[in-house]
Amino acid sequence: MIQPSYQNLRHDQPEPGIHLVTIDRPKALNALDSATLAELARVVAGVAADAEARALLLTGGGTKAFVAGADISEMQALSPEQARSFSSRASRMFLDMEALPIPVIALVNGYALGGGCELALACDWIVAADNAVFGQPEVNLGIPPGFGGTQRLPRRIAPGKAMELLVTGRQVRADEAVAIGLANEKVAADALLARGVELARTIASKGPFAVRLVKQAWQRGQSLDLAQACAVESDLFGLAFSTADQKEGMRAFIEKRPPVFGGR
């Protein structure tokens, strides 16, 4: 698969089905400006259209930052209308990434502040390097978060802890991020990419249709009560029995051999 060229990021496939996106604006500590957000939107659309995609890994170039935040040099002169538009464009892109049918994993190296923390929160889970630093410091600039931080953070961690971080701007390092449930695990910085590929490889070895159904059930259930959410799960469970993957997976289990899934 030939990847289009980008100015502010790199898009690679280290293994079949595994997409790796690296935000690469080292002089700006990978800050999110309009151009970078537009390129991310193109990548997300491309991954969504790839029927062979199994997982998306998202990281930052260099060793200092995953994404240090939104680009303040671009934001400082925005009018209220322009600021709302900037926020809305980013939010739409984050929602599109969140809606991808495959797992999306943030590999956070260095600073993930403001828009960078919000970008990581829009991923399904976070692996933190031992030098990772998370935070929503927008109140230090006289603004609230604008890319979903006030909504996703209290959905990821305890609401009271989220409010504390949002209104104080306090930053947390990798150990605390894991302890409060913001990150799933901490790894050495030089092992971060390898760990991400390992996780993506594990996902790719499972039934592709089943993985997509798991994510669909999880996403749809978040806005429903338990009974409705379980009904959605039952519908998707039944749907899985129409697939070749279900037949292969169960046959392989009975025959005591590894399954060979085709994503059908």
The answer on 195 and 77 residing in a single domain is: yes
The answer on 166 and 237 residing in a single domain is: no
The answer on 124 and 24 residing in a single domain is: yes
User: What number of CA atoms fall less than 13 Å from residue 58's CA on the CB side?
Assistant: 27
Dist. CA 84–CA 155, nearest whole Å: 23
User: 262 lies in a domain?
Assistant: no
User: 105 lies in a domain?
Assistant: yes
**81 classed as catalytic:** no
User: 91 lies in a domain?
Assistant: yes
The answer on 229 and 191 residing in a single domain is: no
Q: What are the tokens at 60?
A: 């930052």
**Tens of pLDDT, residues 89-112:** 999 999 999 999 999 999 999 999
The CA distances from residue 263 to 54, 129, 259, 260, in Å, are 10, 32, 12, 9
Dist. CA 106–CA 177, nearest whole Å: 13
In this structure, the number of other CB atoms found within 10 A of the CB of residue 91 comes to 16
**Tens of pLDDT, residues 141-152:** 999 999 999 999
The CATH number linked to 234 is 1.10.12.10
Tell me the pLDDT of the chain averaged across its residues. 95
| Residue 128 pLDDT greater than 90, yes or no | yes
**118 classed as catalytic:** yes
| % residues pLDDT > 90 (the chain) | 95
User: 259 lies in a domain?
Assistant: no
Contacts 24+ apart (CB under 8 A), 168-171: 168/139, 169/135, 169/136, 169/137, 169/138, 169/139, 169/140, 170/135, 171/113, 171/133, 171/134, 171/135, 171/137
The answer on 212 and 93 residing in a single domain is: no
The answer on 222 and 96 residing in a single domain is: no
The answer on 193 and 70 residing in a single domain is: yes
Instruction: Write down the pLDDT at residue 152.
Output: 97
User: 260 lies in a domain?
Assistant: no
Number of domains within the chain: 2
Q: CA torsion sign, 138 to 143 to 147 to 152? A: positive
Task: Determine if residue 44 is left, alpha or beta; phi over 0 gives left, psi from -120 to 50 gives alpha, anything else beta.
Answer: alpha
Catalytic residue among 74, 81, 118, 185: 118
The answer on 102 and 78 residing in a single domain is: yes
Catalytic residue among 15, 74, 81, 138: 138
The answer on 190 and 61 residing in a single domain is: yes
The answer on 105 and 228 residing in a single domain is: no
Dist. CA 68–CA 140, nearest whole Å: 14
User: 89 lies in a domain?
Assistant: yes
Global pTM reads 0.94
Residue 48 sits in which domain range?
9-204
CB 200 within 8 Å of CB 15:
yes
Q: Coil, strand, or helix at residue 259?
A: coil
Q: How confident is the model at residue 4 (pLDDT cuts 50, 70, 90)?
A: low
The CATH number linked to 184 is 3.90.226.10
**Tens of pLDDT, residues 31-82:** 999 999 999 999 999 999 999 999 999 999 998 999 999 999 999 999 999 9
Dist. CA 148–CA 229, nearest whole Å: 24
User: 155 lies in a domain?
Assistant: yes
The answer on 241 and 172 residing in a single domain is: no
User: 31 lies in a domain?
Assistant: yes
Residue pointed to by tokens 């495959």: 102
Burial of 135 (0-12, 13-18, 19+ CB in 10 A): buried
The answer on 163 and 113 residing in a single domain is: yes
Instruction: Write down the pLDDT at residue 262.
Output: 87
Q: CA torsion sign, 215 to 221 to 226 to 230? A: negative
**Tens of pLDDT, residues 62-76:** 989 999 999 999 999
